[in-house]
Amino acid sequence: MQPTTTNKPWIWVPMLYLTEGLPYVMIMTVSVIMYKNLGVDNADIGLYTSFLYLPWVIKPFWSPLVDLFATKRKWFLAMQFLLVFAFLGVGLALPTNSFFILSLACFWIAAFASATNDIASDGFYLIALKEDQQAFFVGLRSTFYRIAFLTGQGLIVIIAGFLEQKFGDNTQAWSLTMVSVAGLMLLLTLGNLFSTPKVESAKDYQKAKTLSFLEVFVSFFQKKEIGLALAFILTYRLGESQLLKMASPFLLDDQSQGGLALTTSEVGWIYGTLGIVALSIGGIVGGIVISKDGLGKWMMPMILALNVPNLFYYLLANLQPESIWFAGAVVVIEQLGYGFGFAAFMVYLIYIAEGLSKTSHYAIATGFMALGMMLPGMISGFIQEALGYEGFFIIVVLAALPAILLSRFITFPKDYGKKQ
């Protein structure tokens, strides 16, 4: 079944990607805050919540199943309903004596369901929209994915903190919070059930089923110039992957340690208001200009937009201004550039996934994207401690060079993503 221009993507794209982002932030970020407030020691929190990241790293290994069995719409609806029960399980497990083991088991179920939901949702996006629509709406989908992060890290944590004060019992507060998250997931899932169009048929996955599981996986690595493409994917956010881990510590650290000595509330306000607005504008504008002119014209400007603003962090570290407005201005510029520059990356991943098994191939590409974020992020703290913040931000700026160099060698249709 061919995609049409009348399936109301302005309605279902935001809903679908809000539902994709919320479980991830709950599992990877909010769980850490919850366990800390429930008295779990830092060693256990770090060890066990880090393992929850594993499904997103290895999801390419089972992504062919989503291509070979049933429609993408059935997959993501099933996974979203499973997430409802997983978060409900976390909430009900917290008041028990074995809350840590039981809640972790529920989070593991949620992690695998969420990673599979990502595969199916992204695959549905590729099937339900035409090429020019995919480029146009990439900014909108990224924006609502980020809004999900703001909802989890901001609103839900604020509600949990309010309930802690109201009840004087952290267990009761977080139990009720997680049950409420399950209710929110149910509402979002029902929204997706009624808003997403039925654009697939049995023929779509029966055609893909002519390939074996191994053939689907191997066919990705048989694409033309795939080695160059993977190198580009791994290095596109080489600087940003390190900055994301150290930007907040830099803003919070004392000036004697090279930081700006902002309060936690000030950092939250900068990222939660100004930052999210700038990120949203950058992402939406990025999608619009690619759909207007094609990826070829905007690839290099977007790489530069993603990386050049990082230079301002070096200036902040060097000057250490006391006013919050200087830091706020840098974060706004960096987030605006990040949103704008990330649009080209997402469209390029869509291009790499083109073919019969585009859902599986997109999942593999995003698996390498996750690897490109995880590995540099793991060593970013060691680099910062060795070089200080000024030296660290210089490394972050220089990390743009590999992607700039590789962009001269990768090949793709220059008008890819352009509205026809």
Looking at residue 193, what is its pLDDT? 93
pLDDT band per the 50, 70, 90 thresholds, residue 377: confident
Q: What integer is the mean pLDDT of 113-141?
A: 82
pLDDT band per the 50, 70, 90 thresholds, residue 43: low
Handedness of CA 246, 344, 20, 14 (dihedral sign): positive
pLDDT band per the 50, 70, 90 thresholds, residue 76: very high
Q: What integer is the mean pLDDT of 68-78?
A: 88
Looking at residue 204, what is its pLDDT? 54
Looking at residue 198, what is its pLDDT? 84
Strands (E), 73-146: none
Task: Give percent of the chain with pLDDT exceeding 90.
Answer: 36
pLDDT band per the 50, 70, 90 thresholds, residue 341: very high
Does the pLDDT at position 269 exceed 80? no
On whether the CB atoms of residues 377 and 245 are closer than 8 A, the answer is yes
Looking at residue 218, what is its pLDDT? 84
Handedness of CA 158, 80, 377, 174 (dihedral sign): positive
Looking at residue 393, what is its pLDDT? 94
- Range in 36-40, 297-301, 305-309, 411-415 the model is least confident about: 36-40
pLDDT band per the 50, 70, 90 thresholds, residue 174: very high
Q: In whole numbers, what is the pLDDT of the chain averaged over residues? A: 84
On whether the CB atoms of residues 365 and 308 are closer than 8 A, the answer is no
Does the pLDDT at position 60 exceed 80? no
Looking at residue 214, what is its pLDDT? 74
Does the pLDDT at position 2 exceed 60? no
Going by the DSSP 8-state scheme, the letter that residue 255 receives in this structure is: G
Task: Give percent of the chain with pLDDT exceeding 70.
Answer: 90
Residues 132, 150: Cα–Cα separation, whole Å: 28
Looking at residue 85, what is its pLDDT? 97
- Range in 81-95, 118-132, 287-301 the model is least confident about: 118-132
Looking at residue 42, what is its pLDDT? 63
For residues 91 and 130, the model is more confident at 91
For each of the domains in the chain, give its residue range(s) and CATH number, in order of start: 9-210 (1.20.1250.20), 216-406 (1.20.1250.20)
Q: What integer is the mean pLDDT of 53-79?
A: 83
For residue 224, report the phi and psi dihedrals to the nearest 5 degrees: -60, 130
Measured in whole angstroms, the distance separating CA 416 from the mean position of its chain's CA atoms is: 23
Q: What integer is the mean pLDDT of 140-160?
A: 79
Q: What integer is the mean pLDDT of 107-135?
A: 86
Under 8 Å CB-to-CB from 38, ≥6 apart: which residues?
A: 94, 99, 170, 171, 174
Does the pLDDT at position 1 exceed 50? no
Q: Which residue, among 29, 14, 16, 7, has the nearest Cα to 271 in the 3D structure?
A: 29
